[in-house]
Amino acid sequence: MSSAIGIDDLAFATGSFRIDLAVLAERLGADPAKYYRGLGQSEMSVVAEDEDVVTLGAAAAQQILARGGADGVRTLMFATETGIDQSKSAGVYVHRLLGLGPNVRVVELKQACYSATAAMQFAAALVARDPSEKVLVIASDIARYELDTAAEPTQGAGAVAFTVTANPALLELEPANGVYTEDVMDFWRPNHSTTAIVDGKTSITAYLDAVAGAFDDYLTRGGAPFHAIDWFCYHQPFTKMAVKAHRHLADRAGSASDPAAVAARIEPTTGYNRRIGNSYTASVYLALLALLDGDEDLAGKRVAIASYGSGAVAEFLTGTVPANYRTALRAAENERRLADRVPVDDATYLALQHAARRRDPSNYETARQTPAPFRFGGVRDDQRIYEPTV
């Protein structure tokens, strides 16, 4: 009998600063309720000048290695749409920072917010071939949009790291999955730009169509019917998008979609994304982590992951939560990590945003700001500098 395969450990990291969306609302001339209730967001993380996707990803992964060690890790997959180099994987820098040995394959994956789920599926296949291996997956992104636009309040920054193993502690993947791809220009970031271009209305429609298409495919592959799934974790560019998506799927499945009932079903998955903001590839796994860390008893429950990346690719899959999953959590530590972020005013936030847009990107140093275990020191002769903070 083959072993179950899935997520054995899951940790996150985020920016050292945070800004309440009421602060943005004042500058943008908006009612804070537009963001608090309309988007379902209360604040967003902001990275220090010496933080980026590498330092965030390494900080998330370090928690996992500190608990479980690196034995058996022969693959590191780094999912991001915040690319730092057109050739070299961000994961190679992380490999060094974590002190991993040379016998590890490292690769970077990109497809907007979706690619961490592709990494998880590729990892599961590697573990199925050799159950003694474990794969380290990192999803790390910084969402940036033009200032003084409607998209500005949907920025954020975060990373998750998780291990895929046999006999996992947190989520045992079920065989069925559904996928969907369509060429849509709803969101993209050209090579010359540090900020993304988004067509908001098209993006919402593309999201709903893709998730529905992936769910339909999931059903044809032997997946569980809608009513047999206990909890749903959706990609959350803003948390109200998860509510929209769940209502859309419920309607298609002929299930009751009373607004209050839908919101109550999704609420346990929104706690971290509501405070971190959009973390692109990490978002759906922050939804899963919020659910796991919450008060609900998930032992034996079936949980869906509805992963979406603009452009557009979606996947729908399910897994079951093992009986003793709570022994593998770090809920108090996760709450402390969010609480320890330093609140900033609008002037400080704007200064940090402008610092990310360097006039000479080939040579510069960054200010020492982060209290995290790793920092980005800047660029010297077009080479990125990373170092421990201690």
pLDDT of residue 52: 98
CA dist 113 and 81 (Å) reads 7
Task: Write down the catalytic residue from 235, 246, 248, 315.
Answer: 235
Task: Write down the catalytic residue from 51, 95, 108, 113.
Answer: 113
pLDDT of residue 123: 98
Residue where the block lists tokens 């220090």: 48
pLDDT band at residue 33 using 50, 70 and 90 as cut-offs: very high
pLDDT of residue 226: 96
| For residue 151, pLDDT beyond 60 | yes
DSSP string across 220-239: HTTPPPGGG--EEEE--SSH
- Residue range 292-321, pLDDT digits in tens: 999 999 999 999 999 999 999 999 999 999
- Indicate if 81 belongs to the active site: yes
- Indicate if 113 belongs to the active site: yes
In this structure, the strands spanning 5-14 and 171-181 are antiparallel
Structural element, H or E, at residue 231: strand 231-234
Q: What is the three-class DSSP state of 312?
A: coil
- Residue range 63-119, pLDDT digits in tens: 999 999 999 999 999 999 999 999 999 999 999 999 999 999 999 999 999 999 999
* Tokens (6 digits) for 352: 């940090």
To the question of pTM greater than 0.85 for the whole model, the response is yes
CA dist 331 and 272 (Å) reads 11
Output the CA–CA distances (angstroms, integers) from residue 100 to 69, 135, 166, 343, in the order listed.
10, 13, 21, 34
Average pLDDT over residues 186-210: 91
- Contact between 135 and 75 under an 8 Å Cβ cutoff? The reply is yes
Task: Write down the catalytic residue from 43, 81, 172, 315.
Answer: 81
Average pLDDT over residues 257-269: 88
| For residue 209, pLDDT beyond 90 | yes
Average pLDDT over residues 327-337: 98
Q: Residues with Cβ < 8 Å from 260, sequence gap 6 or more?
A: none
